[in-house]
């Protein structure tokens, strides 16, 4: 009887071990499927096929010059156009396009719109973000890395604008590049801990020349930091307005929208995991949410959107727009296209779109 009980106990232990092993293997398989599917889709979205520039687009311009600007530590070459103003300069419009698009968000219709800006006294900088159009780069990132490109172009634009205001014109994920660039400027303007600190020498045996050199380095770096903060302050204050076509609270909203449009319904986890994987495959960016920056900013803002967005969730876009209108209706113009759509308001009714756009520009960037 004792041997029988012992045999049953051993059999039960083996069954439990097999069950635990099966559960462990199953869990590993599930984790592997989630990780691989998320990595593959994130990689596919950020290495999307590049949309070429419409041929002969420059035929729409009377005067322009090509631009080549180097951006960031990766030395990305940004290409585009500086379309000159035909009349006394009222401002510089910088175009920030959507993921997968290029400097002509609406194709040749965009080129004709840029010429209308020129005729009204605005110069336009239309350029391709990294891994878009004719610019270099292996990946695009729904506004994360593109904010660096935009800041580079903004600093370059100041050399061409004098004291004229910069007007940032974003489409889709380009709006998050704009908001992230403004956030970074504001963040860098705030006083904080010096970038470099020299700890006291414990033995106090450092000779006088080395101490003098250390002190000189500290003073040089502090002076450089102060100079950079002042340049950032001037750049931030030169932004005279925002034009945002289909904005959202952050880059994750556009990631999720594209994930949902491409995923198999069985892979229900992808809308949550793909943005996370993408952020950490770049530079370990934290989750972004520009709700407060967008709604509380005192900058004048022109918004284009549809009555119902066909790509973005209500809580990621329309809630933010409504709150902006509630807080700053006096500094916000909202053009609401009828029906359902995403980045199609201009194509749906160019005349009404342009009427709202130029009404905004005439109010906040009037002729001198």
Which comes out higher in pLDDT, residue 228 or 194? 228
**How far is Cα of residue 85 from the mean position of the Cα atoms in its chain?**
27
Place of tokens 């319904």: 265
H/E stretch holding 270 reads helix 270-282
Task: Taking residues 293-310, report their average pLDDT.
Answer: 95
Model pLDDT, residue 192: 45
250 phi and psi angles, rounded to 5 deg? -175, 175
Model pLDDT, residue 190: 65
Phi and psi based region of residue 96 (left: phi greater than 0; alpha: psi -120 to 50; beta: remaining): beta
Q: By the 8 A CB rule, do 368 and 88 touch? A: yes
Q: By the 8 A CB rule, do 140 and 173 touch? A: no
Model pLDDT, residue 216: 67
- pLDDT bin (cut points 50, 70, 90) of residue 276 is confident
Residues with Cβ within 8 Å of 250's Cβ and at least 6 positions away in sequence, in order, are 176, 287, 288, 289, 290, 316
How many CB atoms sit inside 10 A of residue 333's CB? 20
Going across the sheet that includes 166-171, the strands are 64-71, 76-83, 122-127, 91-96, 166-171, 239-245, 301-309, 332-341
Model pLDDT, residue 105: 96
Q: Which two tokens stand for residue 285?
A: 């960016």
Task: Taking residues 165-193, report their average pLDDT.
Answer: 87
pLDDT tens-digit map of 321-342:
999 999 999 999 999 999 999 9
Model pLDDT, residue 199: 30
Q: Is the confidence at residue 310, as pLDDT, over 70?
A: yes
Task: Taking residues 217-236, report their average pLDDT.
Answer: 77
Integer Cα distance of 78 and 134 in angstroms? 8
Integer Cα distance of 218 and 224 in angstroms? 10
- pLDDT bin (cut points 50, 70, 90) of residue 267 is confident
Is pTM beyond 0.85 here?
yes
Q: Is residue 158 classed exposed, middle or buried when 0-12, 13-18 and 19+ CB atoms within 10 A define those classes? A: middle
Q: Which two tokens stand for residue 243?
A: 């034009």
Q: Mean pLDDT, the chain, as a whole number?
A: 87
What CATH class has 54-190+217-364? alpha beta
What b/e readout covers 191-220, taking b as 16+ CB neighbours within 10 angstroms? eeeeeeeeeeeeeeeeeeeeeeeeeeeeee
pLDDT tens-digit map of 143-157:
999 999 999 999 999
Model pLDDT, residue 4: 55
- pLDDT bin (cut points 50, 70, 90) of residue 158 is very high
Q: Per mean pLDDT, which of 8-17, 204-213, 314-323 is the most reliable?
A: 314-323
- pLDDT bin (cut points 50, 70, 90) of residue 112 is very high
Q: Is the confidence at residue 127, as pLDDT, over 90?
A: yes
| Domain edges within the chain | 1-39, 54-190+217-364
Residues with Cβ within 8 Å of 128's Cβ and at least 6 positions away in sequence, in order, are 53, 78, 79, 80, 97, 102, 103, 134, 135
Q: Which two tokens stand for residue 79?
A: 């290409």
Model pLDDT, residue 283: 75
Q: Per mean pLDDT, which of 19-23, 93-97, 204-208, 233-237 is the most reliable?
A: 93-97
Q: By the 8 A CB rule, do 346 and 353 touch? A: yes
Which comes out higher in pLDDT, residue 109 or 216? 109
Q: Is the confidence at residue 3, as pLDDT, over 70?
A: no
Integer Cα distance of 357 and 310 in angstroms? 22
Task: Taking residues 268-272, report their average pLDDT.
Answer: 84
């Amino acid at each position: 009887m004792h041997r029988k009980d012992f045999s049953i106990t051993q059999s039960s232990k083996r069954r439990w071990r097999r069950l635990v092993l099966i559960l462990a293997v199953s869990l590993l398989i599930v984790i592997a499927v989630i990780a691989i599917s998320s990595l593959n889709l994130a990689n596919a979205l950020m290495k999307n096929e590049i949309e070429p520039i419409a041929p002969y687009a420059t035929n729409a311009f009377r005067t322009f010059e090509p631009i080549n600007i180097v951006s960031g530590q990766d030395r990305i070459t940004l290409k585009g156009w500086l379309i000159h103003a035909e009349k006394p300069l009222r401002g510089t419009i910088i175009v920030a396009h959507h993921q997968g698009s290029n400097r002509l968000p609406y194709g040749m219709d965009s080129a004709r719109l840029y010429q209308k800006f020129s005729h009204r006294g605005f110069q336009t900088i239309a350029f391709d973000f990294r891994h878009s159009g004719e610019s270099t780069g292996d990946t695009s990132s729904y506004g994360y890395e593109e904010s660096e490109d935009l800041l580079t172009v903004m600093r370059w634009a100041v050399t061409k604008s004098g004291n004229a205001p910069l007007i940032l014109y974003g489409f889709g994920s380009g709006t998050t590049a704009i908001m992230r660039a403004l956030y970074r400027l504001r963040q860098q303007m705030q006083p904080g801990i010096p970038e470099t600190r020299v700890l006291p020498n414990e033995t106090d045996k450092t000779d006088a020349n080395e101490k003098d050199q250390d002190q000189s380095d500290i003073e040089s770096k502090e002076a450089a930091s102060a100079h950079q903060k002042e340049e950032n302050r001037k750049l931030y204050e030169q932004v005279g307005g925002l034009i945002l076509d289909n904005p959202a609270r952050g880059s994750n909203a556009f990631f999720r929208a594209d994930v949902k449009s491409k995923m198999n319904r069985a892979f229900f986890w992808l809308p949550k995991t793909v943005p996370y994987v993408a952020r950490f495959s770049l530079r370990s960016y934290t989750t972004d949410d520009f709700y407060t920056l967008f709604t509380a900013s005192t900058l004048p803002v022109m918004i284009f959107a549809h009555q119902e967005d066909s790509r973005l969730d209500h809580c990621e876009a329309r809630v933010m727009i409504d709150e902006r209108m509630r807080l700053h209706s006096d500094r916000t113009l909202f053009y609401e296209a009828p029906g359902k759509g995403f980045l199609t308001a201009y194509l749906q009714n160019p005349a009404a779109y342009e009427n709202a756009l130029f009404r905004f520009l005439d109010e906040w960037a009037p002729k001198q």
